[in-house]
């Protein structure tokens, strides 16, 4: 058990007003969790302190070679005042998988969970309660050695910051338009595509800007070798409903293993829907669209929850899905997942952890 020192802010900020749309990732709570690592002492000096800037040497390795990991999960307030987390164990497990991949020392799972719970508890008055809102939790680790050679750092900082959020996309639950990228690639098998590290997101920016310029909100990546198989959207995993079957790309090593992805697979199976995790070519999607069997497309992610896709653009082909409207399963999955997260629907999978 961590001994977490707590220093409360002397100047609490005003909570966001009820009509604040809580634009994703723009507002931060009063406190943050910090813990340091060095080779002699391991992870040590766990503390919750007022949210504030941090001071690092300009030579800190994170600035030069990007050795950093992050996670994203959410806390919710129930109508009877409980604070709930959704599957934090999955995020913690994935965080340590990322850590192993990019040579960051692992964080003991029980310490990680305790840190999340304690900082969320302290700032629980910041958890918004309007439909579609939650408290986004962003744990991350950065390499702090002041050194310009390329090797794993010997020192790190682990932090958790909290942000009350509304929908990730301005569209909310309205369908998004997605650009299928066949020029740039996001990741390749054997690389770091299945690790949650900033490098994957910076790799996505160029195509994202291109897609935005064309009026599309996100990029759907194809595999980096054959440029043929659908992978993920960067901020989301992707699902298709084709002729009654839910199909999602199998995790081949270049796709992020999403917690919402796993939850959707479990829910769909529990509803008796056939679910296939397999390679799926963009040609197959095109054919399903042409023969009328492409019934729904949606993205899944912690920030985005369920995001229906109303349009896909692949080269010169525009594929409209559900006439641009929300599909039955996109809506049902959104309602079920948010219902479980808010303690309104029975949690048959033991996904909820109370703070």
What gap in Å lies between CA 177 and CA 34, rounded to an integer?
A: 38
Tell me the closest approach of the beta carbon of residue 171 to ligand COI, in angstroms.
15
Q: Which is nearer to ligand COI, 198 or 343 (CB)?
A: 198
Residue 265, SS3 per DSSP: helix
DSSP-derived secondary structure for 286-347: HHHHHTT-EEEEEEEETTTEEEEEEEEEETTEEEESGGGS--HHHHHHHHHHHHHHTTSS--
Cβ-contact 16, 164 below 8 angstroms: yes
Q: Which is nearer to ligand COI, 145 or 258 (CB)?
A: 258
Residue 30, SS3 per DSSP: coil
Q: Which is nearer to ligand COI, 107 or 167 (CB)?
A: 167
Tell me the closest approach of the beta carbon of residue 57 to ligand COI, in angstroms.
27
Q: Which is nearer to ligand COI, 233 or 242 (CB)?
A: 233
Binding site for ligand COI (CB under 6 A): 72, 235, 301-303
Tell me the closest approach of the beta carbon of residue 75 to ligand COI, in angstroms.
13
Tell me the closest approach of the beta carbon of residue 195 to ligand COI, in angstroms.
12
Question: Containing H/E element for 176?
Answer: strand 176-181
CB within 8 Å of 230: residues ≥ 6 apart: 180, 220, 221, 222, 223, 238, 249, 280, 281, 282, 285
Q: Which is nearer to ligand COI, 166 or 294 (CB)?
A: 166
Residue 213, SS3 per DSSP: helix
Q: Which is nearer to ligand COI, 235 or 312 (CB)?
A: 235
By beta-carbon distance, which residue lies closest to ligand COI? 72
Tell me the closest approach of the beta carbon of residue 116 to ligand COI, in angstroms.
14
Cβ-contact 22, 44 below 8 angstroms: no
Tell me the closest approach of the beta carbon of residue 351 to ligand COI, in angstroms.
16
């Amino acid at each position: 058990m961590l001994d977490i020192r707590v220093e409360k802010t002397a100047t609490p900020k005003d909570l966001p007003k009820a009509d604040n749309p809580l634009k994703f990732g723009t507002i931060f709570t009063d406190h943050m969790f910090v813990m340091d690592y060095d080779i002699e002492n391991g992870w040590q000096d766990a503390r919750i302190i007022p949210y504030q800037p941090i001071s690092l040497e300009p030579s800190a390795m994170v600035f030069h070679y990007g050795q950093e990991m992050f996670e994203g999960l959410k806390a919710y307030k129930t109508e009877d005042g409980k604070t709930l987390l959704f599957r934090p164990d999955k995020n913690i497990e994935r965080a340590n998988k990322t850590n192993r991949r990019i040579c960051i020392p692992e964080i003991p799972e029980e310490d990680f969970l305790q840190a999340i719970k304690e900082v969320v508890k302290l700032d629980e008055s910041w958890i918004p309660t309007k439909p579609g809102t939650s408290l986004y939790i962003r744990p991350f680790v950065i390499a702090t050695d002041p050194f310009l050679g390329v090797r794993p750092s010997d020192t790190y900082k682990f932090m958790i910051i909290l942000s009350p959020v509304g929908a990730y996309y301005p569209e909310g639950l309205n369908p998004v338009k997605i650009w299928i990228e066949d020029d740039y690639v996001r990741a390749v098998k054997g690389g770091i595509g299945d690790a949650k590290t900033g490098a994957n997101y910076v790799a996505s920016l160029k195509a994202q800007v291109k897609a935005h310029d064309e009026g599309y909100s996100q990029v759907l990546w194809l595999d980096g070798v054959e440029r043929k198989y659908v992978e993920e959207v960067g901020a989301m995993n992707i699902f298709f409903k084709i002729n009654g079957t839910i199909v999602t790309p199998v995790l081949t090593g270049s796709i992020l293993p999403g917690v919402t992805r796993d939850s959707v697979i479990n829910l769909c199976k529990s509803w008796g829907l056939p679910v296939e995790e397999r390679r799926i070519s963009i040609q197959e999607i095109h054919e399903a669209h042409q023969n009328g069997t492409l019934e729904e497309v949606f993205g899944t992610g912690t920030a985005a929850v369920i995001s229906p896709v109303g349009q896909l653009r692949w080269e010169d082909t525009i594929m409209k899905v559900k006439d641009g409207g929300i599909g039955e399963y996109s809506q049902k999955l959104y309602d079920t997942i948010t219902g479980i997260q808010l303690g309104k629907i029975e949690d048959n999978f033991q996904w909820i952890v109370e703070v």
